[in-house]
């Protein structure tokens, strides 16, 4: 049995050491040196509690920080316009990101420091004890909750200190503004992004060529069951090759004409069973690269959307919401496959409303 001599700090329980617990004398043991509750340190009033001038100074200091945050947010917008990114000039990228980053840091830090200073110097600093309750409080508890909100409002001075409150609102409103300009920067500055995405390099007479060589494809090259990765002729010579390819990439397959279910108006979009569909998945834009020759299904490896080529690439599985756009094709005088026109709907993810962008 553990005892004092054993050096364990445990002693047999008796009336003198039971500390008010219900223990059996002589058989139970209790710790001799139970930690005492140290309680709360004595309250020390802050300078802002004692001196109204110090209180006012702190209030102005916090407001100043919130105004600084506004300056930071506006600074980010100004930096965006004043220090534009010039293509092929790394120094301009450095300057642009440096000043936008510093301005946003100033905006965020000022709100953070201001809020902390407000809490430490101006809000009521008495310590309170919150007893735990069942999850669903009683009506009295709920009323108390409302009271607490009111008290918090009183103690923080949120409604009373209008300068503080309004400057904080201003800081919060100004802070997201730089994001608008930064997100706009994801699209080309000198072109309407909707228009750019709406059209591809395909137009009447443009030959279908192998990806990546760019060699034209004759209808006779496309045997039953084969599939070609296709780009428009001339794509390799364009300035923004990757951007163009991301919109114009096509898959070419040959089926038996009688296996194709063609809807009215699309009768001449295939050439003797050779069909071309956009390779850009209508879910979130991955390349639909897998062709199942027996079932004539196209599979997107990203999230497993499947498209049925026999039925105009309708979605038969997965998260994609609309069929792959079909490229109308025919052959030219030399027997090479050519486009009849551009796609009749935007390629890629389905956030485009089809009706709105129908040509």
Binding site for ligand FES (CB under 6 A): 281, 283-284, 286, 300, 302-303, 305, 318-320
What are the beta bridge partners of residue 227?
Answer: 253
* Least distance (Å) between residue 95 CB and ligand FES: 36
Smallest distance, Å, CB 245 to ligand FES? 17
Q: Would you say 343 and 202 are in contact if contact means Cβ atoms under 8 Å apart?
A: yes
Taking the least distance from each CB to ligand FES, the nearer of 281 and 329 is: 281
Element housing 11 (H / E): strand 10-12
Residue 176: CB minimum distance to ligand FES, A:
29
What separation in angstroms does the CA of 146 have from each of 51, 126, 140, 287? 31, 19, 10, 55
Six token digits for residue 252: 């070419």
End-to-end CA distance of the chain: 92
Q: Which is nearer to ligand FES, 161 or 283 (CB)?
A: 283
Output 150 or 303, the one with its CB closest to ligand FES: 303
What is the closest distance, in whole angstroms, from the C-beta atom of residue 241 to ligand FES in the complex? 22
Nearer to ligand FES, 18 or 311 (CB): 311
Residue 55 or 312 with smaller CB distance to ligand FES = 312
Q: What is the dihedral of CA 292, 211, 262, 224, to 10 degrees?
A: -60
Interaxial angle between packed helices 90-117 and 52-82, expressed in degrees from 0 to 180 and rounded to the nearest 10: 160
Smallest distance, ligand FES to C-beta of residue 294, A: 21
CA pseudo-torsion sign 221, 313, 332, 212 = negative
Residue 10 belongs to what H/E stretch?
strand 10-12
Which residue's CB is nearer to ligand FES, number 113 or number 284? 284
Sheet of 208-210, strands arranged across: 208-210, 227-232, 250-254, 274-278, 326-327
Q: Judging by DSSP bridges, how do beta strands 274-278 and 29-31 pair with one another? A: unpaired
Least Å distance, CB 302 to ligand FES, is 4
Residues 286 and 302: beta-carbon distance below 8 Å: yes
CA distance 60 to 65: 9
118 or 343, CB closer to ligand FES?
343
Closest distance to ligand FES from the beta carbon of 235 (Å): 22
> Can you spell out the DSSP letters for 285-340?
--B--EEETTTTEEE-TTT--EEEGGGTTEEEESS--SPPPEEPEEE-TTSBEEES
Going by C-alpha positions, the residue among 336, 300, 337 that lies closest to residue 319 is: 300
Least distance (Å) between residue 303 CB and ligand FES: 3
Residue among 332, 354, 328 at smallest CA distance from 342: 328
CB of 322 vs ligand FES, minimal distance in Å: 12
Name which of 73 and 278 has its Cβ closer to ligand FES.
278
At its nearest, how many Å lie between ligand FES and the CB of residue 349?
Answer: 8
3-class SS at 277? strand
**For ligand FES, the closer CB: 68 or 320:** 320
Q: Cα(263)–Cα(261) distance, rounded to whole angstroms?
A: 7
| 273 versus 319: smaller Cβ distance to ligand FES | 319
């Amino acid at each position: 049995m553990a005892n004092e001599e054993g050096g364990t700090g445990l002693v047999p329980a008796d009336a003198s050491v039971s500390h008010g617990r219900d223990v059996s004398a002589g058989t139970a043991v209790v710790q001799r040196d139970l930690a005492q509750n140290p309680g709360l340190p004595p309250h020390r009033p802050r300078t802002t509690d004692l001196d109204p001038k110090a209180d006012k100074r702190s209030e102005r200091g916090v407001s100043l920080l919130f105004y600084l945050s506004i300056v930071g947010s506006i600074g980010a917008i100004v930096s965006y316009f004043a220090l534009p990114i010039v293509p092929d000039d790394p120094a301009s990228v450095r300057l642009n990101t440096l000043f936008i980053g510093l301005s946003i840091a100033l905006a965020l830090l000022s709100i953070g420091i201001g809020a902390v200073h407000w809490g430490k110097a101006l809000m009521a600093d008495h310590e309170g004890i919150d007893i735990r309750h069942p999850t669903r409080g009683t009506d009295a508890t709920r009323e108390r909750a409302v009271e607490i909100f009111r008290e918090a409002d009183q103690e923080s001075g949120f409604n009373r200190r209008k300068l503080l409150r309004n400057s904080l609102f201003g800081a919060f409103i100004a802070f997201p503004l730089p994001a608008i300009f930064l997100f706009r920067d994801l699209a080309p500055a000198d072109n309407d992004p909707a228009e750019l995405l709406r059209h591809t390099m395909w137009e009447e007479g443009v030959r279908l060529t192998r990806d990546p060589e760019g060699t034209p494809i004759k209808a006779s090259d496309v045997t039953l069951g084969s599939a070609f990765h296709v780009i428009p002729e001339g794509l390799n010579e364009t300035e923004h090759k990757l951007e163009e390819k991301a919109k114009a990439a096509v898959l070419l397959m040959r089926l038996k004409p009688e296996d194709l279910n063609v809807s009215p108006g699309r009768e001449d979009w295939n050439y003797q069973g050779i069909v071309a569909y956009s390779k850009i998945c209508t879910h979130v834009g991955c390349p639909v690269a897998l062709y199942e020759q027996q079932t004539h299904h196209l599979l997107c490896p990203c999230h497993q959307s499947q498209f049925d080529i026999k039925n105009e690439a309708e979605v038969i599985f997965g998260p994609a919401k609309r069929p792959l756009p079909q490229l109308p094709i025919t052959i030219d005088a030399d027997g090479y496959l050519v486009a009849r026109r551009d796609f009749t709907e935007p390629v890629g993810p389905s956030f485009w409303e089809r009706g709105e962008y129908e040509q």
